Amino acid sequence: MPRLAPLLLLAALAATGTAHAETARCHVVYGGEEWTVDAAPTTTPYQVAGRKIGRYFEFKLVYADLPTTGRFIRVYTYGMTTGDPVLIHQATHRPPFDGRADAYGFTGFQSVYEPSKSSELQYWCQYLP
């Protein structure tokens, strides 16, 4: 019975939602609206879908953990003025990731501009261990 106690504790934590995996979270602001985009570590970064932000942007957050290149977090911003996504911003971050929520996390406060519509998207990302 003593070996079963840790398993029961883990099951109880998972059921209550208090067991958390590490996550990257970006806070995105555009046109007076705010979005939150989360990413857990993945071994298939090319399958991560982007998220539509307003009319002119798509935002993609990838937290990869690959056996060949290790861990990294990439932020992609696409302009959508033609209907097809066009990459206008990319940032790559490698460990150690700053886990502080103040001072705008590990990315700092970023602004991205869509060139043809003069639209501005702002974001900052934090690491949640």
Q: Reduced to 3 states, what is the DSSP secondary structure of residue 40?
A: coil
What does pLDDT average to over the chain? 85
What pTM value is reported for the model?
0.81
Tens digits of residue pLDDT in 32-88: 999 999 999 999 999 999 999 998 999 999 999 999 999 999 999 999 888 789 999
> What is the model's pLDDT at position 87?
96
Q: With helix as H, strand as E and coil as C, how does 85-124 read? A: CEEEEEEEECCCCCCCCHHHECCCCEEEEECCCCEEEEEE
Amino acid sitting at position 61: L
Domain assignments of the chain as residue spans, ordered by start: 19-128
Q: Residue 82: its pLDDT value, please?
A: 80
